[in-house]
Each structure stands twice: as structure tokens, then as C-alpha cells.
């Protein structure tokens, strides 16, 4: 069905282009100067820029909805206020968009990258990703990285194999929000840093809520510099980010703020993510992921017919897409029939 048209729709693209020409930084990506999509498309929506369309495609896809059932750090937490991948994604999106606005960069591009950056996370938080990566490496000589799987979701797995056909700038930002290679755009670089701001500080909140962490144990240096609450620390990091980036014309931090964030991150790995008593939870979860992957490799006929690739790839796609609750249910059902 062709798009409806009218005076507003007919002038939309030219008005947006004129506004961006006047307002955006010379370093920003212009909405109608995208490098294009993975596959050429015919008709375009006259009331949305290409990056707005990407944002909407991500928000309306199944993988985005499943993020509400995937834990951020804690496995099956007893409480309604712990963060999930969905709440983390929304937090990163909001902060990133504010940074983009302050630096006069493209807010729509930044938002689309942020909303899609964690689509590829497996069930059970950091533990599930680590277990999937370990099993794939030990048994099949492969690896699992959630950023690469996020790109596979938007390129291939969504819409039963058709993918979302996103713009190159959004795909780049999703893939490179973590890892050794920096994003091609400043908008992607914003998401890469803000993701760390958010998960380190919000994981501290959840660890305190779970009575795993005493806030008085937090390292003195970062707390003195950044603040005692997560909102104070994120605000301090954001202010440092925008002021430093404006001066350097790159997305950057001062050395003292970078070191403070790294110290908090190292503290969380030592005291929370890799704490000794976490094995009580991680051990069973790792076995669940291992059992599920092995089952579907051996029983590929149970997987959707439209999944592409060999049996290991198809099984990985299926297990990685599960929510925590679905993974637990499927594993329990397999245990009953075995």
C-alpha cells in the first residue's frame, strides 16, 4: 500500500534537512545522507527519517520485546525492581540521546543504536553469555559475542529470516558498541561509552538491593570524584563527557573520569560479577545453557525451518534468543522426558 501524502509529508524531508543543516554539528551524521541499507528498498516513509524508521523497526521487533525477560546481572532475582536488559536498554537510550543533543549530534541515529545494542544478549545475563561462549569454544571451536549476535538478529533473524534491513550507521553502532574496534560515527561512540556508564552504576544499585554489596565498601576515589548515588555518578560522567568531547571534537573523557569508571568496573567484577558465592547460581545456569545447546544441535528438526546455517549455528540462534523463563521451562521439559 503506498504511503499517504499531503503538505506536511511532502515538505518533511526538506524541513528536516534544513533544520539539521542549521542546528547539527559539522561532525554529525545527516539523516538523509546515510550510507544506505543492507538491501535496497523502494518506497520510503515520508514522515520519518531513515534513522527514525530504524528506531521503530527495532522497538517493534520480537527480539526487543524479549529483552524484558532477560536479566541484566542477577538470575531470577526475588523482587520487582531489578533491572532487565530492556530497562538497561531504555536507560542507555535516554542518556545517550541527551548527550547527542548537548553535542548537536544526530539524536535519532544515537537512539536507534542504543535501542538495538543489546538485542543479541543470551538469557541469564553475563553468566549465560559466558556459558554459551565457553561451550561453543570447547565443543565446536566457535565463539559467542552478544554484539555480533545483535547484528545477526537485525540482519538475518528478525522477521523469519528477512531481518530489519537497518541503515549502515545503525548496524555499525550496534556491532561496535563493545569490542576493540571503535564505531565509525560519533553517535555510535556515545552509545559505546554511555553503555558502560549505565551498567556499572545501575549494577551497583542492584547489588546493593540484593544485599550483596555494602555501599560503604565502594572504592573511595571514584565515589569522591563522581558522587555517592548512581544518578550523581552518571551525571558527573555525562558532564565530563560532553565538555571533553566538545573541546576535542571526539567522544572522550578526561583521564581522571576514565580511571574512576574503570576502577568502579574492576571493583564490580571482583565483588559482584565474579564473587565466589556466585557459583551457587552460575553453575546450574551454565549447565542449563550447555544442555539446551547440545539438545538442539542433536535435534535440529525441533528448530524453526527458516533458520539459516549449520546445526550449531541454528541451535545457537535459538538458545541465545530465549528469555530466562523460557530457557528454564524448556530445560525442565527436556529433563522430564529424558
Write down the pTM of the prediction: 0.94
pLDDT mean over 287-312: 95
Q: What is the pLDDT of residues 227-236, one digit of tens each?
A: 999 999 999 9
Q: Which of 116-120, 284-288, 311-315 has the lowest mean pLDDT?
A: 284-288
10 burial level (CB within 10 Å; 0-12, 13-18, 19+): exposed
Q: What is the pLDDT of residues 244-275, one digit of tens each?
A: 999 998 999 999 999 999 999 999 988 887 77
Confidence of residue 17 (pLDDT cuts 50, 70, 90): very high
pLDDT mean over 279-301: 89
pLDDT of residue 68 exceeding 90 = yes
pLDDT of residue 281 exceeding 70 = no
Nearest Cα residue to 119 out of 82, 156, 94: 156
pLDDT of residue 209 exceeding 90 = no
C-alpha cell at 106: 544526530
Q: Any idea what the Cα angle at residue 182 is, between residues 179 and 184, rounded to 5°? A: 135
Calpha distance 295→197 (Å, rounded): 38
Calpha distance 175→177 (Å, rounded): 6
Phi, psi of 123 (to 5 degrees): -65, 160
The CA-atom distances, in angstroms, between 148 and each of 90, 177, 301 are: 20, 10, 25
pLDDT for the residue numbered 2: 61
pLDDT for the residue numbered 10: 87
Confidence of residue 284 (pLDDT cuts 50, 70, 90): confident
Tell me the angle at which helices 311-320 and 279-298 cross, rounded to the nearest 10 degrees. Answer: 140
DSSP letter string over 235-286?
HHHHHHHHHHHHHHTSS---HHHHHHHHHHHHHHIIIIIT-GGGHHHHHHHH
Q: What is the pLDDT of residues 20-62, one digit of tens each?
A: 999 999 999 999 999 999 998 877 889 999 999 999 999 999 9
Q: What is the pLDDT of residues 141-190, one digit of tens each?
A: 999 999 999 999 999 999 999 999 999 999 999 999 999 999 999 999 99
pLDDT of residue 72 exceeding 80 = no
Calpha distance 60→138 (Å, rounded): 36
pLDDT for the residue numbered 210: 81
C-alpha cell at 166: 537497518
Residue recorded with cell 571514584 = 222
Domains and CATH numbers, the chain: 7-35+43-337 (1.10.3210.10)
pLDDT of residue 289 exceeding 90 = yes
Mean residue pLDDT across the chain: 92
Q: Provide the strand spans (E) within the chain.
A: none
Amino acid at each position: 500500500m503506498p504511503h499517504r501524502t499531503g503538505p506536511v509529508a511532502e515538505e518533511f524531508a526538506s524541513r528536516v534537512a534544513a533544520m539539521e543543516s542549521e542546528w547539527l554539528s559539522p561532525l554529525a551524521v545527516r539523516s538523509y545522507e546515510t550510507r544506505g541499507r543492507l538491501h535496497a528498498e523502494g518506497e520510503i516513509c515520508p514522515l520519518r527519517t531513515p534513522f527514525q524508521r530504524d528506531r521503530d523497526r527495532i522497538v517493534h521487533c520480537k527480539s526487543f520485546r524479549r529483552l524484558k525477560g532477560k536479566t541484566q546481572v542477577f538470575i531470577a532475582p526475588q523482587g520487582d525492581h531489578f533491572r532487565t536488559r530492556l530497562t538497561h536498554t531504555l536507560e542507555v537510550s535516554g542518556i545517550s540521546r541527551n548527550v547527542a543533543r548537548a553535542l548537536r549530534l544526530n539524536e535519532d541515529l544515537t537512539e536507534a543504536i542504543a535501542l538495538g545494542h543489546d538485542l543479541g544478549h543470551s538469557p541469564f545475563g553475563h553468566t549465560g553469555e559466558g556459558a554459551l561462549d565457553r561451550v561453543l569454544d570447547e565443543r565446536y571451536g566457535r565463539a559467542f559475542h552478544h554484539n555480533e549476535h545483535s547484528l545477526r538478529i537485525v540482519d538475518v533473524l528478525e522477521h523469519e529470516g528477512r531481518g530489519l534491513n537497518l541503515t549502515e550507521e545503525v548496524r555499525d553502532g550496534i556491532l561496535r558498541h563493545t569490542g576493540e574496534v571503535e564505531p565509525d560515527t560519533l553517535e555510535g561512540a556515545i552509545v559505546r561509552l554511555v553503555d558502560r556508564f549505565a551498567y556499572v552504576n545501575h549494577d551497583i544499585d542492584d547489588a546493593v538491593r540484593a544485599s550483596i554489596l555494602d555501599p560503604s565498601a565502594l572504592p573511595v576515589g571514584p565515589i569522591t570524584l563522581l558522587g555517592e548515588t548512581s544518578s550523581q555518578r552518571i551525571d558527573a560522567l555525562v558532564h565530563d563527557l560532553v565538555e571533553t568531547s566538545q573541546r576535542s571534537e571526539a567522544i572522550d573523557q578526561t583521564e581522571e573520569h576514565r580511571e574512576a569508571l574503570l576502577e568502579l568496573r574492576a571493583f564490580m567484577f571482583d565483588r559482584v560479577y565474579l564473587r565466589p558465592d556466585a557459583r551457587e547460581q552460575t553453575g546450574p545456569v551454565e549447565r542449563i545453557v550447555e544442555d539446551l545447546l547440545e539438545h538442539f544441535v542433536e535435534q535440529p528438526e525441533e528448530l524453526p525451518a527458516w533458520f539459516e546455517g549449520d546445526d550449531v549455528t541454528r541451535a545457537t540462534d535459538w538458545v541465545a534468543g530465549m528469555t530466562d523463563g523460557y530457557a528454564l521451562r524448556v530445560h525442565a521439559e527436556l529433563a522430564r522426558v529424558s
